[in-house]
Structure 1
Amino acid sequence: MSRAAGRRRVGTLALRPLDPLEDAELVHAWLTHPKSAFWLMQGARLVDIEREYMAIAASEHHHAFLGLHDGEPAFLMERYDPRHIELVGLYEPEPGDVGMHLLVAPTDKPVHGFTRAVITTVMEHLFADPRTHRVVVEPDIGNTAVHRLNEAVGFVPEREIDKPEKRALLSFCTREQFEAAGVRHAVAGRTTARTRATAVSGAST
């Protein structure tokens, strides 16, 4: 099953820069939802979200994007430079490293394969930049659903690390590992893809 075929079934996915004021109310609802607990923003006020994403918009090392599903907001993605934020002093960065956070909007009606299609779209977006060699993630050690999702697109866990806000599973995915994961799923066929592409409402990494 090709990546393109998987996305055709769930619809069209796209990314645009997040507007810290226009999109704040929507993102606030996502981040404070119980299914988004791993983002640790359950008690955030709307003004807190506005300030957070205004700061990101002003940063040269951190960028936020709103993901669209058939033109409608459906997920949030942040990319960051781990040499300057999030992971400073916690690992040895390599040239071409890009950090990533992902939140799929919480829903009571998950679409089969949707979260897998979202993370695939995000990874393709990150690797579309020829300077990106490796994507770095640090999800909460207890977020096992996201660990499985990450591994399905090529991430390899490295080790557990202690961040100020959580104990995290540091994981990496090179361009080659991402491409190899796509080949494996294409060869494995529909059954394997269905098993590994569990839709996770509120998935975050």
Structure 2
Amino acid sequence: MTDTDMTFTFRPVDPLAHGELLHSWVTHPKASFWMMQDAKLEDVERAYMEIAADEHHHALLGLRGGVPVFLMEKYDPAHRELTGLYEAQPGDAGMHFLVAPTDTPVHGFTRAVITAVMAHLFEDPEVKRVVVEPDVRNTAVHALNEAVGFVPEREIQKPEKKALLSFCTREQFTAATRVAA
């Protein structure tokens, strides 16, 4: 596999089998906006067991060449995360993603990941628009979101953070990335 091979596959998270891996990712200093810096292994396993049992929230590992390299979460914003903070529309899907920490970064990798995550979400014909709510201070992810077609709407106050509510339709994603959705 070369650095230019940015083909990814997706697999559901197994909270116990993947717990140690996820723990190492979410507690890494580069994952500060994931807000699990002080989590113990049991905390991570419990959090992902709750997601696995939730019909409105799903966690997937992204693999490159069979090796886990990122985490993505898909949620229904009418029922999780954004309930009461905006008017959810039919076809909205919420999304989070986290790229595994590495000592050997590959140029363009994170952009390839978010593009793959968005394409994966839009593979579901029911998904009309993706909603994100990153921390307002996370300027790196704001730039990535913009690169794949997200348009910020407004700042919102969540219990754990001030967030930038942003939306991306299929058409905006395709226009920004030239990836058919």
Q: Same fold per TM (> 0.5)?
A: yes
Q: Does 1:70 align with 2:70?
A: no
Supply the AA of the counterpart residue of 1:60.
E
Instruction: Return the alpha-carbon distance in structure 2 between the equivalents of residues 61 and 166 of structure 1.
Output: 21
Partner of 2:107: 112
Give the alignment partner of residue 85 of structure 1, picking from 58, 74, 80.
80
- Kindly, what percent of the aligned residue pairs are identical? 70
**Contact 2:70–2:97 at 8 Å: present in 1 too?**
yes
Indicate the SS of the match to 1:9. coil
Q: How many residues align?
A: 178
Q: Which runs of 4+ in 1 moved over 4 A?
A: none
2:151 counterpart residue number: 156
Give me the CA root mean square deviation: 1.4
The structure richer in helix per residue is 1
Alignment of 1:19-30 (within 5 A): 19-30=14-25
| Match of residue 163 from structure 2 | 168
Letter in 2 for 1:67: G
Are 1:39 and 2:47 matched, yes or no?
Answer: no
Match of 2:98 in 1: 103
Q: Where do 5+ consecutive residues of structure 1 fail to align?
A: 1-6, 186-205
- Checking the alignment, whether the CA contact within 8 Å between 2:150 and 2:173 is kept in structure 1 is yes
Partner residue of 1:122?
117
Q: Quote how far apart the aligned CAs of 1:10 are.
A: 3.5
Q: CA deviation at 1:12?
A: 2.4
Aligned to 1:4: none
Tell me how far 1:106 sits from its aligned partner: 1.1
Give deviations 1:111-132, integer Å, cap 9, x for gaps: 0111111111111110000000
Runs of 5+ unmatched residues, structure 2: none
Q: Does residue 1:12 correspond to 2:4, yes or no?
A: no
SS in 2 for 1:78: strand
User: For residues 117 and 103 of structure 1, what CA distance do their matches in structure 2 show?
Assistant: 12
